[in-house]
Structure 1
């Protein structure tokens, strides 16, 4: 565990923005998997339309959140020096590239030809990459104390 916290430059009143805004894009991209499966199972176009919205919200929100995280990566020397931070960033860019491709394919043709097999494949791959990127993000917070407030670090020292 890090001895001192590594503060985020991209914060509001000391609260880091990246962890605040990443939850909605992650949820949208993960919900895309059951939406694709529901469409394949039922054939109801509602699920195909829902998939377009989910992947769109996930992609746009992910790029916004990623830009905020990238700013912390380049602005904070202690974060920039962490291999885990670079691995997290590279996985996030790969994930967002796959999500963007998935979205663009669906906007052109939102039904069968896209969702099966490529849309579902890209959705599942995105879900896997979210898991890996989230694992690395958690390591940054819990093991390296990235964006953990000094007050929380004091609580850790007292409890541990």
Structure 2
């Protein structure tokens, strides 16, 4: 009996939290503090859950099957580490006296760069799972071939 990998189950939390934090910051341009006030908590939860997901991913790296495109694995890891760094930086630079401040130009640039890395890294992670079968049990059907 094989175990279910933990990393794919955990990644949904930082993806959702960071995406919603970016949306809250952008919505804050029109709706003010009512919208952007949410981003601090979402960023903090996203960063914490990303750290847990990254640790799980590192432990599961040794289970990547032979023949999997390791170059894609390294790109996925690199992009997600950059996204993590950008969103952590966004959180820390947005605080003053431990209180979240209204997003400024730097905040929105960090949001945009982090979101781009998040989407690109997430796309690579999805490709690894759904196209190359990384994380799939050996007794499952093979991934469908792409023509």
User: Which TM-score tier does this pair reach, normalised by the shorter chain?
Assistant: 0.7 to 0.9
Q: Higher relative contact order at CA 8 Å, sep ≥6: structure 1 or structure 2?
A: 1
Give a deviation string over 1:77-109, Cα, whole Å, max 9, x none.
Answer: 647971111111111111111111011112335
Structural RMSD (CA): 2.4
Q: 1:25 Cα shift? A: 0.9
For the Cα contact (< 8 Å) 1:95–1:126, is it kept in 2?
Answer: yes
Q: 1:126 Cα shift? A: 1.5
Specify the SS of the correspondent of 2:128: helix
Which residue number corresponds to residue 140 of structure 1?
128
Higher helix share: 1
Q: Decide whether aligned partners of structure 1 residues 69 and 35 sit closer, same or farther in structure 2, where only a CA change above 3 A counts.
A: same
For the Cα contact (< 8 Å) 1:91–1:129, is it kept in 2?
Answer: yes
- Decide which structure has the larger Cα Rg and report it: 1
Q: What TM-score results when the alignment is normalised by the length of structure 1? A: 0.78
For the Cα contact (< 8 Å) 2:25–2:108, is it kept in 1?
Answer: yes
Q: How many positions carry a matched residue from both structures?
A: 142
Q: What are the ranges of 5 or more consecutive residues in structure 1 without an aligned counterpart?
A: 1-12
Choose which of 18, 28, 32 in structure 1 pairs with 2:7. 18
